[in-house]
Amino acid sequence: MVMSNSSFRRRQGAKRKPISSFGLILPVMANSDVKLIGAWPSPFVMRPRIALNIKSVEYEFLEEKLGSKSQLLLESNPVHKKIPVLIHDGKPICESLVIVEYIDEVWSSGPSILPSDPYDRAIARFWAAYIDEKWFPAMRNITAAKEGESRKALIEQAGEGMVLLEDAFGKCSKGKGFFGGDQIGYLDIAFGSFLGWLRAIEKLNGVELLDETKTPGLLKWAQRFSSHPPVKNVLPETDKLVEFAKVLAKYKAAESTS
């Protein structure tokens, strides 16, 4: 199943930054070659897709199948063999947040993704790292954990993380609608890409992680983010992810017994 990028067929050329040491400006390229290797359920893949949409960059989405890795993926990411991989004019870039920063720097004429102030950038990067290293690993293990103490502990951990992120939202947004202010930015993308899975995990486990009393700011932000144009066609519906989670669980069970 290949998802097309039908909403953004505006033909905006991909401009490159000038080479600063010689002051040369490269000619504007009409359709530079942009491919993204990924899969629709992966929150990490959603990140570069949202970033490319923000910059109105057309790209070819090369979908990997569950259970097998394409030759192109293995060649483009020999170190980790993981998606997403952005291939820009034949050159691969790996790791979702590295790709997002790359997209921001290459297509610099589009709306900015990283904040401009170095301290704000450090804070955005800090929370993105927290999400990847602490929050999502706890979230991901909730469904697999056995009922009882260990699942309860993981749910509590995820909940504590949500409170921290609610506080971060208050500080970063400074009263505006997104972590990035008026526009969605790096941290919106880093965290928002998990919203589909957050809701799926809530449904699968009968828990509430986004709630009006504990995370009122994030609750509203989630609605705003999900309906934002660059995000709308990228974030999968909760029910589709719930179905996929079941498929994935069956696949993993089969793998471990074979």
Partner 1 sequence: MAGDQVTLLDFWASPFGMRVRIALAEKGVKYEYSEQDLRNKSALLLQMNPVHKKIPVLVHNGKPVCESLIIVQYIDEVWKDKAPLLPSDPYQRAQSRFWADFVDKKIYDIGRKIWTTKGDDQEAAKKDFIDCLKLLEGELGDKPYFGGETIGYVDIAFVPFYSWFHAYETVGNFNIEAECPKLIAYCKSCLQKESVSKSLQDPQKVYDFIVMLRKNLGVE
19 vs 66, beta carbon nearer partner 1: 19
Please state, in angstroms and rounded to a whole number, the distance separating the CA atoms of residues 69 and 115. Answer: 35
Please state, in angstroms and rounded to a whole number, the distance separating the CA atoms of residues 207 and 229. Answer: 28
Is it true that the peptide bond before 118 is cis, omega within 30 degrees of 0?
A: no
Stretch that binds partner 1, among 33-41, 86-94, 138-146, 213-221 (CB under 8 A): 86-94
Binding positions for partner 1, 181-240, rule CB under 8 A: none
- Minimum Å gap between C-beta 80 and partner 1 is 8
Residue 186 exposed, middle or buried by CB count within 10 Å (0-12, 13-18, 19+):
buried
Count of H-run helices and E-run strands, the chain: 11, 4
CA neighbours closer than 13 Å in the CB half-sphere of residue 150: 7
Binding positions for partner 1, 95-124, rule CB under 8 A: 95, 98-99, 101-102, 105-106, 118-119, 121-122
String of DSSP letters for 173-230: HTTSSBTTBSS--HHHHHHHTTHHHHHHHHHHHT--SS-TTT-HHHHHHHHHHHHSHH
Under the binding rule (CB under 8 A), the answer on residue 94 touching partner 1 is: yes
3 vs 164, beta carbon nearer partner 1: 164
As a residue count, the chain comes to 258
- Minimum Å gap between C-beta 104 and partner 1 is 9
Please state, in angstroms and rounded to a whole number, the distance separating the CA atoms of residues 41 and 211. Answer: 24
Under the binding rule (CB under 8 A), the answer on residue 82 touching partner 1 is: no
- Minimum Å gap between C-beta 19 and partner 1 is 8
Reading the block at residue 71, the tokens are 């030759």
- Minimum Å gap between C-beta 41 and partner 1 is 23
Please state, in angstroms and rounded to a whole number, the distance separating the CA atoms of residues 121 and 103. Answer: 16
Binding positions for partner 1, 9-28, rule CB under 8 A: 17, 19-21
- Minimum Å gap between C-beta 4 and partner 1 is 26
101 vs 202, beta carbon nearer partner 1: 101
**Residue 128 main-chain phi, psi, to 5 deg:** -65, -40
Under the binding rule (CB under 8 A), the answer on residue 126 touching partner 1 is: yes
Q: Given candidates 12, 112, 130, 243, which one binds partner 1 under the rule CB under 8 A?
A: 130
Instruction: Map residues 134-173 to x or -, x wherever contact with partner 1 holds by CB under 8 A.
Output: ------------------------------x---------
Interface positions with partner 1 (CB under 8 A) = 17, 19-21, 79, 88, 91, 93-95, 98-99, 101-102, 105-106, 118-119, 121-122, 125-126, 129-130, 164
